[in-house]
């Protein structure tokens, strides 16, 4: 259960109506199969021990006694299974019959949770057979044991147990459909996982409604939802039950079962995501002082990890149609932010440094969209190319072609002479290719852009992206500064897809051709002299692969994960591409730079937030510039496996 992962299973078994011994055998078989796959939480449908469609047979002593005997068989035969098993059965107490969920672990009956909301409309008539359950938790005697009974019971790990943050609340079918649900109270009191035992019959359109119900409930409650649905074997006298179990986490569907089939679906629940979101969204969850029974559960610690590795690019949707939709939305957000700023200051022109690289290209394309939307002439976009010591023909020609193909005003200013004079003024040797040599060029370019904007009453559009800001890969008061940074919320891995999206969808073939060549150009600040006419300074060789840094950035900021957990995620995501030692090396670079470069982010210009991770000091990241990275660096250093090969 390392790093907060819990594998959950939702089972739709075959049932025989009113045959609890057959059903018990199916529950035991499925529990063993799920446990062998690593499931620690195994949920079965509502009344799965008897069948949901027993009708007035629920009033028969023979069926009720048979269910209790079958429950005992399950309890004993699953004693060796290290998992929490939750199943449904009719349970009689003091002359009343309850639609109940039984929670078992390692041969113990931990608790009984009755259904609160009994549907008694349309095709449902549960009030004919069952009494509504009690919210209050009290203890009843069962086979010589004191067992908690009631809706307000949480099944959770004790302090210091793994997985940390596991607290499970149980409800039954209609409980989730009401105006006020038990899950709300469970979540208020710390439940990170809601289990719903369901017997929802099939109707046209109902599956989609049920899917949205559990998906949105998991998002609204910031929780995982495991819903096990009844299916094959239920009586078809008047209704058909089709299964369709579903597992959701924080508004996302992780796994969904096919209809009209017996099935076991699995999902790896990352409980640390839930904990992180609840820490961050502190207005979502209150605290209900009403009494809650809490049952202790414990699992053997195992070095588990998700069965299916997370994607390599968390900022980029893997689905092509969703990625295209997302690209269009992001470009609109960027352009809308710039439009507002241009309109507010009454500018008719914008100045942008165009280098022929990806970031300035994206900023330029966003500026084009903003001008078109505002009805401003494109020649009001002053695209400035400023060749110097490191400029190559390829990037220069692409910058020129891009500006001309779009109707912008192209202005070329060679800054070599100005920089040399500056070197002379401060005593910098031109053959000393140190940080001063590089940063002097970046600051000269920024000065040119700012002064041109002053001359024309224009606005300087910034080009730096989110990944560069995270690493501090920007010259302070150089490319770090602008009057509005349109790329400030866009990570490098996404910049490439945004430019590619425009290249693929533009009707201007000349523009598409230029954009594709820019996409093929290595990322570089071009501040060092070319090598044999080509780029000599490749950013990713110096600071590390951006796909790794964006991966680290996402999980470090979005969920606050520890370096060790991010490393394990990266091992799975980048298996076959990067050795563990390489991942470790660049992770240490990431944390070292992220902490040491906060001073640059503390004084960023305005720019639009486009996703869930942002670095604005006025919004998402209020971090001291002199915070220590010691804890993070120490864990990053310790996380390597024995025998790792360090990157050279």
Torsion of CA 72, 73, 75, 80, to 10 degrees: 160
Which of the residues 54, 67, 137, 173 is marked catalytic?
Answer: 173
Torsion of CA 342, 347, 352, 358, to 10 degrees: 20
Omega before residue 163 within 30° of 0, cis: yes
What does each C-alpha distance from 117 to 288, 474, 640 come to in angstroms?
20, 59, 52
Say if CB 124 and CB 102 are below 8 A apart. no
Strands 193-198 and 167-172: parallel
Gap between the Cα atoms of 297 and 71, Å rounded: 19
Nearest to 58 by CA among 160, 136, 127, 1: 127
Runs of H (alpha helix) within 112-181 = none
DSSP 123-138: T--GGGT-PPPPSS-E
Please give the angle made by the CA atoms of 322, 576 and 629, to the nearest 5 degrees.
80
Gap between the Cα atoms of 20 and 24, Å rounded: 6
Gap between the Cα atoms of 550 and 546, Å rounded: 6
Verify whether residue 76 is a known catalytic residue: no
Nearest to 483 by CA among 312, 397, 367, 621: 367
Residue 32 tokens, joined: 């063993």
E strands in 94-213: 96-105, 108-114, 138-142, 145-149, 153-157, 167-172, 193-198
Strands 484-485 and 459-462: parallel
**Main-chain dihedrals φ then ψ at residue 19, nearest 5 degrees:** -125, 80
Verify whether residue 369 is a known catalytic residue: no
CB atoms within 10 A of CB 532: 5
In 3-state terms, what secondary structure has residue 105?
strand
CB atoms within 10 A of CB 88: 30
Which of the residues 46, 156, 188, 234 is marked catalytic?
Answer: 46
Gap between the Cα atoms of 246 and 382, Å rounded: 54
Give every CB contact of residue 434 below 8 A, 6+ residues apart in sequence: none
Gap between the Cα atoms of 93 and 147, Å rounded: 12
Say if CB 251 and CB 218 are below 8 A apart. yes
Give every CB contact of residue 202 below 8 A, 6+ residues apart in sequence: 239, 240, 241, 242, 244, 259
Strands 263-270 and 5-12: antiparallel
Please give the angle made by the CA atoms of 467, 468 and 471, to the nearest 5 degrees.
90
Element (H, E) at 492: helix 492-505
CB atoms within 10 A of CB 207: 18
Verify whether residue 248 is a known catalytic residue: no
Runs of H (alpha helix) within 169-288 = 182-188, 206-221, 271-280
Which of the residues 26, 54, 67, 115 is marked catalytic?
Answer: 115
Gap between the Cα atoms of 619 and 96, Å rounded: 55
Catalytic residues: 46, 115, 173
């Amino acid at each position: 259960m390392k790093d907060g992962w819990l594998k959950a299973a939702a089972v739709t078994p075959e049932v025989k109506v009113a045959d609890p011994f057959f059903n018990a055998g199916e529950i035991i078989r499925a529990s063993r199969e799920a446990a062998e796959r690593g499931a620690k939480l195994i949920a079965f449908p509502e009344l799965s021990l008897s069948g949901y469609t027993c009708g007035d047979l629920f009033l028969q002593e023979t069926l009720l006694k048979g269910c209790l005997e079958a429950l005992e068989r399950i309890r004993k035969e699953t004693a060796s299974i290290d998992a929490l098993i939750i199943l449904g059965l009719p349970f009689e107490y003091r002359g009343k019959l309850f639609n109940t969920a039984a929670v078992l672990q390692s041969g113990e009956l931990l608790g009984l949770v009755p259904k609160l909301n009994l549907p008694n409309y349309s095709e449902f008539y549960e009030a004919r057979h069952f009494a509504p359950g009690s919210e209050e938790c009290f203890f009843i005697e069962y086979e010589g044991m004191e067992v908690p009974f009631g809706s307000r019971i949480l099944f959770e790990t004790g302090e210091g147990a793994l997985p940390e943050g596991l607290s499970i609340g149980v409800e039954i079918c209609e409980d989730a459909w009401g105006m006020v649900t038990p899950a709300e109270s469970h979540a208020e009191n710390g439940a990170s996982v809601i289990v719903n035992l369901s017997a929802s019959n099939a109707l046209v359109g109902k599956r989609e409604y049920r899917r949205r119900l559990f998906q949105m409930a998991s998002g609204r409650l910031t929780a995982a939802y495991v819903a096990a649905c009844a299916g094959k074997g239920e009586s078809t006298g008047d209704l058909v039950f089709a299964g369709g179990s579903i597992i959701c986490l924080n508004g996302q569907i992780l796994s969904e079962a096919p209809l009209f089939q017996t099935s076991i679906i699995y999902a790896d629940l990352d409980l640390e995501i839930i904990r992180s979101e609840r820490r961050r969204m502190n207005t979502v969850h209150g605290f209900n002082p009403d009494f809650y029974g809490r049952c202790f559960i414990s699992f053997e610690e195992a070095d588990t990890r998700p069965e299916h590795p997370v994607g390599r690019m968390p900022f980029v949707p893997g689905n092509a149609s969703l990625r295209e939709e997302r690209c269009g939305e992001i470009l609109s957000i960027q352009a809308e932010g710039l439009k507002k700023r241009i309109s507010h200051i009454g500018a008719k022109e914008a100045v942008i440094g165009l280098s022929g690289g990806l970031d300035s290209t994206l900023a330029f394309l966003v500026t084009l969209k903003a001008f078109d939307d505002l009805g401003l002439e494109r020649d009001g976009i002053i695209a400035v190319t400023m060749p110097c010591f490191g400029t190559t023909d390829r990037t220069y020609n692409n910058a020129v072609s891009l500006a001309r193909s779009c109707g912008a005003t192209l202005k070329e200013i060679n800054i070599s002479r100005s920089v040399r004079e500056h070197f002379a003024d401060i005593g910098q040797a031109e053959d000393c290719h140190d940080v001063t040599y590089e940063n002097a060029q970046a600051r000269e370019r920024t000065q040119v852009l700012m002064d041109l904007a002053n001359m024309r009453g224009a606005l300087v559009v910034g080009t730096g992206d989110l990944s560069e800001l995270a690493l501090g890969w920007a010259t302070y008061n150089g490319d770090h500064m602008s009057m509005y940074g349109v790329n400030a919320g866009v990570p490098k891995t996404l910049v490439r897809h945004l430019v590619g999206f425009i290249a693929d969808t533009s009707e201007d073939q000349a523009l598409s051709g230029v954009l594709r060549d820019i996409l093929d150009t290595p990322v570089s600040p071009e501040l060092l002299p070319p090598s044999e006419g080509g780029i000599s300074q490749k950013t990713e060789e110096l600071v590390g692969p951006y796909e790794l840094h964006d991966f680290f950035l996402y999980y470090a900021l979005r969920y606050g994960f520890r370096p060790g957990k991010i490393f394990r995620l990266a091992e799975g995501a980048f298996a076959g591409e990067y050795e563990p030692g390489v991942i470790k090396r660049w992770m240490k670079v990431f944390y070292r730079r992220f902490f040491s470069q906060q001073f640059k982010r503390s004084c960023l210009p305005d720019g639009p937030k486009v996703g869930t991770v942002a670095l604005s000091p006025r919004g998402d990241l209020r971090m001291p510039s002199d915070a220590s990275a010691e804890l993070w660096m120490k864990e990053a250093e310790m996380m390597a496996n024995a025998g790792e090969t360090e990157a050279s």
